[in-house]
Amino acid sequence: EDQVTQSPEALRLQEGESSSLNCSYTVSGLRGLFWYRQDPGKGPEFLFTLYSAGEEKEKERLKATLTKKESFLHITAPKPEDSATYLCAVKAGGFKTIFGAGTRLFVKA
């Protein structure tokens, strides 16, 4: 069965304290791995799409990487405005997208 597991469930950082979020996945035939940011009461906001192992993408303080079994979202020198829930999702065969439960990130000034 296709599965996505994110860790940790919650992460508390001081402003400027870099860290990484993990997304482990089990799917047959990965067609894409996605990272989204979700603020409370809002829809997921697209961050990155990764398609193959070894691929990396960056945007401001965020960098996403992909291996054959997991993806990392690295946050460099986070700011309080980076506080949100970060969602990982995968697309295998067909049209269905499977989401992980998310990592709630809190960045304190």
Footprint of another protein (CB under 8 A): 31-32, 34, 36, 41-46, 49, 87, 89, 91, 94-102
Name the minimum Å distance from CB 18 to another protein.
Answer: 26
Closest to another protein by CB, 54 or 94: 94
Write the CB contacts of 77 (distance below 8 Å, at least 6 apart in sequence): 15, 16, 17, 18, 61
Structure tokens given for 56: 């990396």
Name the minimum Å distance from CB 17 to another protein.
Answer: 26
Residue with tokens 């603020």: 39
Rounded distance between C-alpha atoms, residue 73 and residue 22, angstroms? 7
Name the minimum Å distance from CB 42 to another protein.
Answer: 6
